[in-house]
Structure 1
Amino acid sequence: MLDRKQKIEYVNLANRLWAVYESYRPNLPSYPWDLRVYPLTLIGLLVKRSGNAVEEAIIGADVSVETRKYLLDIFNEAGDEMVEAFIDEFTEAELETIMRSDPSYRANLLGKVGGNFFTPANVNELGFRVLGVNDNDTVADFGCGPGGFLGYIVEQFPEIHATGVELSHEVACVARLRMECLAANATVEERNLFDCEKPSKYDRIFSNFPFGQRVADLSASGEYAQRLVKGDMPYGRSRNADWAFCQLIVDSLSESGRAVAILTPSALYNMVDKRVREHFVGNGFVEAAVALPKGLFVGTGIPTELVVFSRGNENVRFVDARDLGSKGRPSFLGSDDIDEILARLSNDGDASVSVGIAEIEAKDFNLQPERYLWSDIKVSNGVRLGDVSLAIVRGYNVRSDALADETEGNKGNPAYLSITDIEDGEVKHPLKRIEKDADVLANHLLQDGDIVIARMALEGGSFKVAAVDIEGDERIVPSQNFYVVTVDKKRVSPVFVAGFLNSDVGQELLSRTTAGETVRNITTDGLRDLIVPVPAMSDQQDMAERYQAKLDEISVLKLKLERARMEAASFFESEVE
């Protein structure tokens, strides 16, 4: 991995490279020209090293037949002017630096190609260190992209035999030419991973396979792929293709081998694939699962998990690493962060625990690390929210073209409550009014004291909650993005319950009811099972009054703040003629 100074130098160099590239890019096909900075860079290198014209330099180069053909194709499409710009602008040393550097250091320029996200350099390093690669190992990268992980491996062990498998022709060509430029003992196979009768064996495997695929969508035609698609496995057929890739990975491991795969969280907990996880855990294939920090991948906010596979595991190590790395998008794992993850993989602690198969079975073979690392929250006088509720339902979807700002003419129409209308635990007025199809909404109106709970968390992870106070004959329809909880007012105070759910403890409990891949949503069952305190009604009412007083105080302060801002903005108007 580049150190900080080298990284700054490389990014500056890459910015210059991109400025040249961008000046010609509008005249070129879009995808996958972003990757073609690499063949153009190599062409520049070959010309500088040989002193020959472009075609002569390519034909005389010590490269494979596939790479030579690819470079000639790129030259014919790019043209003399663009290639000459690369040759004239950069020194031989600078072009060598670009060829040797991990593609993901400029991933914000490459981003997502063909539905796949390039693996960040720091994730490549993490995978390498978790795998514990030795120089006599056979190593494979399943879905190798432009060769980021392969490049890292051969930097550490120049003589190691490594194999990359990549489906995309263009991406495989880039990976191959990068390995040849590095003079690596690495092979890049351009094929579907599942096009095999029997998987080859490797000592170490890394895979950041495509996110979001389904087994039914696998396009391979080989015997192995057909077994997966038809469900000819001990567990039948998995729905999520993540487990099809993991099955191939495990079947490709040598007896003492180890593999690292990057998965999305859904595969680790969805009930559809419970039997698949039972097979993997029960047969000792899962060594560890690590929840990675958010935002590691450029171009997506999808959370990711690192899963370690090997054989003969009687326990699974669960590690929560979401607190590590730089904040922001993209986030970044530094060397200290990677050291800490390695330490957590070896030792119990607040963010790491080793769990036996029986306990995992009791949790439906859920492999999310946080499920085993949550500290118990004991709620005094705790009762299931579902047991003190008369109903828990979803809100109603009203099209945006049916809404209008409140005016004197539409005040009698039903109001519409959206997520943005909840602020600091209260409903912020005025609300938009429903001007179309208002007569069909009678069954979706909020009742006084209903609690609205946002189904999805905000960017920072919090959930909006408010107890709704209906004044007079006001009619309010809640957005479908809310759960509406109608509590039994004989047993609980709506303001008390809403206040508890807005507290730090309540927000943590809400976060534990969520499920989802890209966006975490509160589930209905999770909301019903959420434990809320139910002390004596007199105590509830006392706390609800004091909580409401704090909300009122916040409202007053906000009004004062807004007034002060207006006064400050107009403070010097007397000085203007």
Structure 2
Amino acid sequence: MGEELRLLWNKNQRNIQSEKHLIVLSYYYLTALEKLEPESEILKIGIKNNFMRELSETELDSIELFLSNNFEIEDISQLLLDYLNMVDYTPQMMFTSSNESILSLASSYFDFTNNEFADFCSGNGAMLSKALKNKAKIIKGIEINELTHQLSILRLWLEHGTMLRDEIIRADIFEYFEKNPEEKFEQIFSEFPLNLRRKDKYIFEGIEINQNSDWGFISLIMNQLKERGRAVVISTVGIEMRKTDEKIREHFIREGYIEEVIALPAGILTGTGIPSFMLVLSHGNDSIRFTDASDVYSNAGRVRLLEEKDVEKIINSDNIKIDVPNEKVLKEGRLSPEFYLLPELKGGTKLEKIAVILNSRPLRKQEIDEYSAAENTGMQLIRLSHVKNGQILDGDFVNKIIPKLIELKNLDIIVTRIGSKLNVALYQEEEDIRSFVDENFFVIRVNNKDWNPYYLFAYFQSEMGQKYLSSTYSGATIQRVNKKDLLHIDIPYMTLTLQNKIAEKTKEYLEKINQLQLSLEIIQDEKDEVMSSWFKEV
């Protein structure tokens, strides 16, 4: 019934933005309900005064007439709930929500019955509704967005028949708990705004945390958690390696505040495709359970979601989990499940034993402009845009040697140091061309006669090599790797004879690719020339 009502509503109100659908529906429902539920008047006045200024009395009268002619009050209630439960919000909508996939997984870590439950940045109240449904003793929601706050109160009223104005607070969570530090909870959930810059630095147990760090939210949540409590928090993957977060990260590990880190599938969060973690926090943990759920999901069209079978797999499958003592986590300095779940290579050799890693110093834009050349000078600068699918394309010509940059030697391997995508390429020198790389690459230069550079390149291009290589990177939209982690990557050992066989085959493939690339360029030039000739006389 709800879907039919929504289609009818959309058909007749297509000139109204999505968030106004909700505002008008809420206002009309509360108006109709006012005679039966006097308590609804305060909520109705708040919605009208704050969110209906752009609608004229004529528009309101027209909408009211349409609704009263088509729907009973029970129908309006169903239509309103249908909207309030939407996951696929449009970018114009003024409120946010944790999607059902995240809520199902997170709620499996809670025992709501007769316990206190709080949702920091509670959005549309979906998790609070779960807590009420499962007979939580006390609930508390804190939400800063005014419309979201009022609609979440309305949502819980529709679902549970209770007006929870005192339980759902409109406030900034940092300001609220600065005034109410003694207010602590047995269970806390939070999907706070990712990468949000706060007004002030947050200090947790003597450690100062930057305004733009997710650790500020995580620390606040830990601060309000009771000694025997548990919290579930959604964060970006950037928390695990940023140098500026090192002190607070090590503090959480050392103090045993992290119970589990779950790597969620990319694209599972509403409105963003960035990879994310689900952290389970509690007191007194001697080890951290790492769960790699990055490949555990179902598809509904283009949308990724967690079905019941996926949640069950994440909770119960031992082959995607590993428990690591806090001491080892401190030594490694990583919080990535993928890093700890990679099997150790038997008989492998650390990269630092077979190669050196070099990197260029940063160039200012002024310097790049100064060195740029329009014609072939016999010198080129290789940048991120010049490396694609393992191939180094033609670089930008420069007019002189740039002292800050590393000059490539034959069979150097270059890997992305910082960028949106991991790329690996093998440099094959060209006659009369000197090549330099910018600061966005690491240059791996083999210096051990028992190792063939082609073999190392083939390994980095393989499925196994890509997994080991990508495990050293961290970051959400922009990924980066530090030299220390790259040097400690394991390389499978083979005799030089076997390496040379792999190298010969790799060379053959690279030569074929180069020939095909050249043929493609010739065909494209020919196409452009012929097509241009067709219209010369026009």
Cross-structure match for 1:3: none
Alpha-carbon displacement from aligned partner over 1:188-247 (angstroms, at most 9, x marks no partner): 1112223324231333221112222467735xxxxxxxxx43x5x2x5223465334334
1:532-576 per-position Cα deviation (integer Å, ceiling 9, x unaligned): 356565654443222111333455677899999999xxxxxxxxx
1:439 to 396, 400, 404: 400
Query: How far apart in 2 are the matches of 1:342 and 1:537?
Result: 44
Match of 1:211 in 2: 194
Residue 469 (str. 1) matches residue 431 (str. 2): no
Cα distance, 1:258–1:534 mapped onto 2, change above 3 Å: closer
**1:111/1:70 CA distance change after superposition, 3 Å:** closer
Matches within 5 A, 1:282-361: 282-326=254-298, 330-344=303-317, 349-361=318-330
DSSP-derived class of the 1:144 partner: coil
User: Structure 1 residues 467-476 or 479-488, which shifts more?
Assistant: 479-488
Amino acid at match of 2:305: F
CA distance in 2, matches of 1:276, 1:307: 15
Give the drift of 1:386.
Answer: 3.6
Aligned-pair distance for 1:143?
0.9
Map Cα deviations across residues 400-458 of structure 1 (whole Å, 9 max, x no partner).
9989xxx9x82345344344544553334xx2543xx6335366343332222233577
Q: Secondary structure at the match of 1:439?
A: coil
Partner of 1:99: 80
Equivalent residue runs for 1:369-384 within 5 Å: 369-378=337-346, 380=348, 382=349, 384=350
3-state secondary structure, aligned to 2:118: strand
- Judging changes above 3 Å, is the alpha-carbon distance between structure 1 residues 341 and 197 closer, same or farther for their aligned structure 2 residues? same
SS of equivalent to 2:346: coil
Q: Aligned residue for 2:531?
A: none
Letter in 2 for 1:188: I
**Higher mean displacement: 269-278 or 203-212:** 269-278
Question: Residue 239 of structure 2: which of 252, 262, 267 is its match?
Answer: 267
Q: Which runs of 5+ in 1 are unaligned?
A: 1-5, 26-33, 51-56, 219-227, 568-577
Matched, 1:45 2:4: no
Q: Does 1:532 align with 2:491?
A: yes
Shift of 1:23: 1.2
Q: Report if the CA contact (8 A) 1:425-1:551 is conserved.
A: no
SS at match of 1:300: coil
Residues 231-274 of structure 1 show CA distances to partners (whole Å, capped at 9, x for unaligned) of 5x2x5223465334334333433454322111222324445444
Q: Equivalent residue for 2:131?
A: 153
The one-character-per-residue Cα deviations of 1:158-206 (angstroms, maximum 9, x if unpaired) are 7854221112333322323333343236321112223324231333221
Contact persistence 1:24–1:82 (CA under 8 A): no
Aligned identity (percent) is: 22
Q: Which amino acid aligns with 2:24?
A: L
For the residues of structure 2 that align with 1:137 and 1:417, how far apart are their CA atoms? 59
Aligned residues: 512
Instruction: Give the aligned partner of residue 530 of structure 2.
Output: none
Equivalences for residues 138-177 of structure 1 within 5 A: 138-154=116-132, 156-157=133-134, 161-177=138-154
2:112–2:135 Cα contact (<8 Å) kept: no
Q: Counterparts of 1:212 and 1:446 in 2: how far apart (Å)?
A: 37
* C-alpha separation in 1, matches of 2:466 and 2:366: 29
Tell me, what secondary structure is at the counterpart of 1:78?
Answer: coil
1:393 aligns with 2:359: yes
> Could you tell me how far apart the structure 2 residues matched to 1:334 and 1:244 are?
31
Residue 144 (structure 1) shift: 0.8
Partner of 1:545: 504
User: Match for residue 375 of structure 2?
Assistant: 410
Instruction: Report if the CA contact (8 A) 2:119-2:142 is conserved.
Output: yes
Q: Distance in 1 between matches of 2:96 and 2:150?
A: 17
Are the aligned partners of 1:38 and 1:99 in contact in 2 as well (CA < 8 Å)? Answer: yes
1:298–1:329 Cα contact (<8 Å) kept? no
Amino acid at match of 2:116: T
Give the residue type in structure 2 aligned to 1:392.
L
TM-score, normalising length: structure 2: 0.80
Distance (Å, rounded) in 1 between the aligned partners of 2:163 and 2:137: 6
Partner of 2:111: 132
The one-letter code matched in structure 2 to 1:363 is E
Alignment of 1:505-516 (within 5 A): 505-516=464-475
Match for 1:368: what amino acid?
A: S
